[in-house]
């Protein structure tokens, strides 16, 4: 069997490795138009304030692993067309310009997504930048080293913007986040976002919410960001206002797309086109996803899963919620870390629907437990009776998951 994978960033490389293990004897070829592979874009902000040696080692280790599995990977090779009927792709070797065709039995699309940039005056100035590739990372690391780069503006107050802000805070820069919505983290309920914002402000992040960017004044380099409400100093602006799934290759194949342009897939990752599958940012689950996710900003860990109260009410569900604070370990243990959880559940059946949490450490472990409870259809009472380490039904209750379940009325 011949399997072709388009794209070799995190999702593509993971798919290649799993297929090699599951499909013994299959011929697997990966085409990547960039110069690097095996680097998840979500992890790039971490390296803004770290040495690149660890990143280089991770990339080299993955290259060695793929070679050992017999996977053929071609960097600087761009797939420019898909003929689904003939089961073939058109490929261009960007180093030589040679164009050729390659046939497949199964095709996996792992083309990721592209950052959106506001089309306003000055958006092409030096210093107005996105962070999506290793090449972007290298530019930003060199640019921020220059002594005059002190004031950094992040456009976008969602996950990506906060991840980037975290690294620049560690570098001692002045960080301002501009978000067009009236709240930080639109994926959270408003009251939760406000509490998180307050904690981040205490750590030095400045926020301007409900503001639209109008221009990037400056000469060759960006010097300011102008919005509908004010003008702010800016030596570097990193744009993180959202992404567009890279699914243009599927034009003409009849593939079903989501409203945001992502290709719809089932539980088996199959698209609506025979023998074509998709993974990563270019794909969206047809049956939905819990969207379980987390990030760390300065000393604050933030996570969520399932539905927010706002989303549940918009869906017509009758819901209730509870909020409580606990710690990640019992009081008899040294250095317990505070964690706050908001739990959302159906009012009649009391089935767990979602949760949002934030705290100093080990927040993701609680959200993962709640994600399992959602998939299992557990009620608030059933989740509250789960035995956690050092917090069983025969012990005093201290874990925030059990506390919030106990407070659910």
Rounded CA gap, 383 and 398, in Å? Answer: 14
- Complete domains list, the chain, with CATH: 2-114+243-285 (3.50.50.60), 117-239 (3.50.50.60), 293-407 (3.50.50.60)
Burial 107-121 (b: 16+ CB within 10 A, else e): bbbbbbbebeebeee
Which residue matches tokens 């992502």?
262
Res 128: pLDDT? 96
Contacts 24+ apart (CB under 8 A), 272-276: 273/84, 274/84, 275/84, 275/87, 275/104, 275/105, 275/106, 275/107, 276/82, 276/84, 276/106, 276/107, 276/108, 276/109, 276/250
Is residue 196 a contact partner of residue 299, using CB atoms and an 8 Å limit?
no
Which residue matches tokens 């794209």?
7
Q: Find residue 126's DSSP bridge partners.
A: 221
Res 53: pLDDT? 80
User: Token digits for 98?
Assistant: 């040679």
Res 322: pLDDT? 95
User: Token digits for 65?
Assistant: 């692993």
pLDDT means per 10 residues, the chain with 409 residues, are 89 82 86 78 78 77 78 92 96 97 96 92 95 88 90 92 88 94 89 88 92 95 96 96 94 92 90 94 81 81 92 92 89 83 95 94 93 95 85 66 90
Q: What is the pTM of this model?
A: 0.81
Backbone angles phi, psi at 407, to 5 degrees: -90, -10
């Amino acid at each position: 069997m011949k399997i072709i994978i388009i794209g070799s960033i995190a999702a593509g490389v993971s798919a290649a490795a799993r297929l090699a293990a599951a499909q013994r004897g299959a011929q697997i070829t990966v085409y990547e138009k960039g110069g690097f592979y095996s680097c998840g874009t979500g992890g790039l902000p971490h390296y803004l304030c770290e040495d690149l040696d660890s990143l280089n080692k991770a990339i080299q280790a993955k290259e060695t692993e793929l070679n050992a599995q017999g996977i053929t990977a071609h960097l600087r090779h761009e797939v420019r067309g898909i003929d689904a009927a003939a089961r073939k792709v058109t490929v261009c070797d960007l180093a030589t310009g040679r164009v050729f065709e390659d046939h497949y039995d199964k095709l996996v699309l792992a083309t990721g997504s592209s950052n959106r940039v506001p089309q306003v005056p000055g958006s092409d100035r030096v210093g107005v930048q996105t962070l999506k590739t290793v090449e972007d990372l290298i530019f930003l690391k060199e640019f921020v080293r220059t002594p005059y780069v002190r004031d950094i503006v992040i456009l976008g107050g969602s996950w990506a913007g906060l991840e980037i802000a975290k690294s620049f805070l560690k570098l001692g820069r002045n960080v301002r986040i501009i978000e067009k919505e009236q709240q930080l983290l639109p994926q959270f309920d408003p009251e939760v976002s406000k509490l998180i914002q307050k904690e981040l402000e205490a750590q030095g992040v400045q926020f301007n919410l409900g503001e639209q960017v109008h221009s990037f004044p400056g000469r060759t380099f960006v010097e300011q960001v102008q919005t509908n409400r004010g003008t702010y100093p800016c030596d570097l602006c990193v744009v993180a206002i959202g992404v567009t799934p890279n699914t243009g290759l599927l034009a003409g194949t009849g593939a079903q797309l989501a409203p945001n342009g992502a290709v719809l897939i089932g539980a088996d990752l199959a698209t609506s086109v025979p023998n074509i599958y998709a993974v990563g940012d270019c794909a969206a689950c047809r049956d939905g996803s819990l969207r379980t996710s987390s990030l760390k900003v300065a000393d604050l860990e933030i996570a969520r899963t399932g539905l927010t109260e706002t989303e549940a009410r918009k869906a017509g569900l009758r819901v209730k919620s509870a909020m409580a604070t606990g710690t990640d370990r019992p009081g008899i243990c040294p250095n317990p870390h505070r964690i706050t959880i908001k739990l959302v559940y159906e009012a009649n059946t009391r089935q767990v629907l979602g949760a949002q949490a934030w705290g100093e450490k080990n927040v993701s472990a609680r959200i993962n437990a709640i994600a399992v409870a959602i998939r299992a259809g557990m009620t608030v009472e059933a989740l509250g009776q789960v035995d956690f380490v050092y917090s069983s039904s025969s012990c005093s209750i201290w874990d925030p998951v059990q506390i919030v379940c106990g407070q659910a009325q």
